[in-house]
Structure 1
Amino acid sequence: MTASSTASTAGDTGPAGEAFQPPEGFALLRPNEGYIAVSGPYYRAAGGLYGFQSDDRHGNPNGVLHGGAILTFVDTVLGREVVRVTRRRCATIALNSQFMAAGKPGDWIEAKVVIRKLTGSMAFVDAEVTAAGEPVLTATSIYRIFSGEIGAPPRPPETAPAS
């Protein structure tokens, strides 16, 4: 993971290479390479919001989103928020999830990430995930934070806009 996480959405392409415009306020999460590029692309907005446009690649034989596609997204964005705030690399220690419903290929998937507590070497982070605006998953996690900054000084977690 790197500290650089977003860039302009101009010229972004969707999973099949077609022109894609994420919802307003979302920008491409960078770097968009390796497994993240295969499973995404993922996007970030202010307030701990992350998202991706699901498609047929993310589906399972039952016609719904594969749980692994959602969990890959959640694990990625939980860690990215830790890196964004601490400016330090991290690794997943624990990731607990509870599926509440299924999404469909083609749904916009969005996660609201909240850092609950940071210590010198640990982060406790939660997420709520929706598909097409409907709740599909909650997650709690613990990340190991490694020493050594990878960018500018730490930034405080952003506060979510009042709903």
Structure 2
Amino acid sequence: MTGQAPRGAVYAGGLRHRCVFVQVRDGAGRIFVHRRTATKLVFPSLYDMFVGGVVGAGESYDTAALREAEEELGVTGLPTPSYLFKFLYDDGAGRSWWSAVYEVRCELPVRPQAEEVAWHAFLPEGEIERRLGPDDGPDDGWEWVPDGLAAYRRLRDQPGGRG
């Protein structure tokens, strides 16, 4: 069954919904990484290697990917993000969403939304891998959003090794 509900009701009720994840690279190929603000409804204060969010009612994944990337980066005029794949994220504890993964190159100066992003940097993949730690655990000092980590692993482990 599909329907529409306010975001807070979706999360409170554990309703499955649609999200987009956009991996953003700069001109040097480094990946945009950020720490979410403490006021975020889901996964506050955790690190993420994607920008993105919930797909709006009646909105396509493609439209949401561009909207979310431009909003979170604080830019306009990004190229259209390239669709990579879709997967179902389900943590078994009431958090479940269809997740469309994209990538985009951003050579514009970023000005992330202060209400969304507490810290940000473009990092080389080796630095991200180092921050994941050997077991992708929090012992590296950086605790990652679990849905972004699932998307990153899938992207990294694809044939051809994106990510």
TM-score range (shorter-chain normalised) is: 0.3 to 0.5
Identify the structure with the greater helix proportion.
2
User: TM-score, normalized by length of structure 1?
Assistant: 0.34
TM-score, normalised to structure 2's length?
0.34
